[in-house]
Structure 1
Amino acid sequence: MSLDSALTALRKADKSNAHNALSKAKVALLQSNALVPSSAVSPQTLATARSVLEAGALLSIRLQDADSFVRYYSQLQPFYDYPALQKSQSREKSQITGLYLLLQLSQGDYAGFHTLLEGLIVAESEEGRSVEDDPYIRYPIELERCLMEGSYDQVWRRTTGKEVPGEEFALFSGILINTIRREIASCATRSYTSLPIPSAKNLLFLDSEGAVTEFAQEQGWSLRDGWVYFPAQDPKKGEEADLEGEREMMSNVVGYARELESIV
Structure 2
Amino acid sequence: MAEHEATQILRHLDSLKPSTIQQAPQLLSRGKLALLHLKALVPSSQTSPQHLLLGASILECGALISIRLKDTESFTRYYQQLQSFYSLPDDRFARHGRPKHQSQVTGLYLLLLLSLGDYGGFHTVLEGLEVSRGKAQVEKDVFIQYPIRLEQALMEGSYDKVWGETKGERVPSEEFGVFSEVLINTIRSEIASCSERAYPSLPIANAKNLLFLDSEGAVVQFAQSRGWVARDGRIYFPQQEEELLAAEKDVMSSSGAVIENTLGYAQKLETIV
TM-score by length of 1: 0.80
The partner residue of 2:36 within 30, 36, 41 is: 30
CA deviation vs aligned residue, 1:137-167 (integer Å, no higher than 9, x gap): 0000001111111111111111112111112
Which is richer in helix?
Answer: 2
Residue 69 of structure 2 corresponds to residue 60 of structure 1: no
Tell me the number of residue pairs that the alignment of Structure 1 and Structure 2 aligns: 232
Please, what is the CA RMSD of the aligned residues?
2.1
Conserved? CA contact 1:201–1:212, under 8 Å: yes
Q: Which residue of 1 aligns with 2:149?
A: 142
What is the Cα deviation at residue 130 of structure 1? 4.5
Q: Secondary structure at the match of 1:195?
A: strand
Q: Which residue of 1 aligns with 2:240?
A: 232
Q: Which residue of 2 aligns with 1:244?
A: none
State percent identity of aligned pairs.
Answer: 56
Gapped regions of structure 1 (runs ≥ 5): 235-264
What is the Cα deviation at residue 208 of structure 1? 3.3
Partner Cα distance (1:3, 1:85) in 2: 20
Residue 105 of structure 2 corresponds to residue 96 of structure 1: yes
In structure 1, what residue type is equivalent to 2:102? Answer: K
In structure 2, what residue type is equivalent to 1:156? Answer: W
Q: Secondary structure at the match of 2:25?
A: helix
Residue 8 of structure 2 corresponds to residue 5 of structure 1: yes
Q: Which has the larger radius of gyration?
A: 2
Q: How does 1:109-120 map to 2 (within 5 A)?
A: 109-120=118-129
Q: Secondary structure at the match of 1:207?
A: coil
What is the Cα deviation at residue 223 of structure 1? 2.8
CA deviation vs aligned residue, 1:79-101 (integer Å, no higher than 9, x gap): 11234636432221111100110
Conserved? CA contact 1:102–1:140, under 8 Å: yes
Q: Which residue of 2 aligns with 1:20?
A: 26
TM-score by length of 2: 0.77
Gapped regions of structure 2 (runs ≥ 5): 244-273
Partner Cα distance (1:153, 1:178) in 2: 13
Residue 221 of structure 2 corresponds to residue 218 of structure 1: no
What is the Cα deviation at residue 104 of structure 1? 1.1
Partner Cα distance (1:41, 1:145) in 2: 40
**Which structure is richer in relative contact order (CA contacts within 8 A, separation 6 or more)?**
1
The partner residue of 2:179 within 172, 176, 182 is: 172
